[in-house]
Amino acid sequence: MNLLFVLVQVAAIPTSPLEMVIHGTGATKVVLGILVVLSLVSWAIMFRKWREFRAIGRESDAFMQNFERASSFAAAVDAVRDMQGVPHARLIRRANDFLREVAPALAATPGRVAKFSGSQVEALRLLLDAETNAAQERLSRYVPSLGTIGSVSPLIGLLGTVLGVIEAFIGIASQGSGNIGAVAPGVAEALIATAAALAVAIPAVFAYNNFASKLNRIDSELEGFGSELIALLVREGRI
């Protein structure tokens, strides 16, 4: 009888992580379920932003090639007419709208073109800065969520670890001994929750840092491009 009881106990001991999850406690399953959802969300965001940044990088390279070949501001506007998704194109269109809607402070004469005053140039600079910030907001959408998932997942895993340790102590108390058979299931659940949390957090943090670096680079490029637009207008004598 005792031998049969021992054999039943040995057969009930999980032999793989999947079996540990299947035979785990409800609290551990809830923790792992939350981590699975967070992992799916983070990978969906990573895939979406990766495609978005790749497309923007490719289109921005083509845009800058067209812009460098443009001999005037009007030619630059024509060169980017079909490029709707490039942040640089949005800047040049906003600048073109500003030049069409605002009357120059100095009227044109036979010897010069109409010129904008210093305050109008400052207004143009503020408009370009606002468009740069708007582009930054559009591109950074969902990126902070990766940072949140990367920081929250280890805490959720810690919760699963604590629950697993509690389960281990309950096993010790119920069996009246501290042998490995009483402690191992709870400890194993705790380790699985910790591993799952790290598997969610590490890719999310890596992707967040990568995307944040790309956003900073794009922001710097847009600020420099705004200065190039104003310099182009200066060369044309419109400022």
Q: Work out how many domains the chain is built from and give that number.
A: 1
Does residue 9 belong to any structural domain of this protein?
no
The whole-angstrom separation of Cα 153 and Cα 220 is 32
Q: Is residue 34 part of a domain?
A: yes
Does residue 21 lie in a domain region? Answer: no
Nearest to 149 by CA among 54, 48, 27, 36: 36
Q: Identify the domain containing residue 186 by its residue range.
A: 27-235
**In a domain? residue 112:** yes
Phi-psi bin for 107: left (phi > 0), alpha (psi -120 to 50), beta? Answer: beta
pTM of the model: 0.77
**pLDDT tens-place string over residues 130-186:** 888 888 888 888 999 999 999 999 999 888 888 777 777 776 666 665 555 556 666
Within a domain: residue 1?
Answer: no
Q: What is the pLDDT of residues 24-72, one digit of tens each?
A: 666 777 888 899 999 999 999 999 999 989 888 888 887 777 777 777 7
Q: Confirm whether 114 is domain-assigned.
A: yes
20 within some domain = no
Domain assignment present for 163: yes
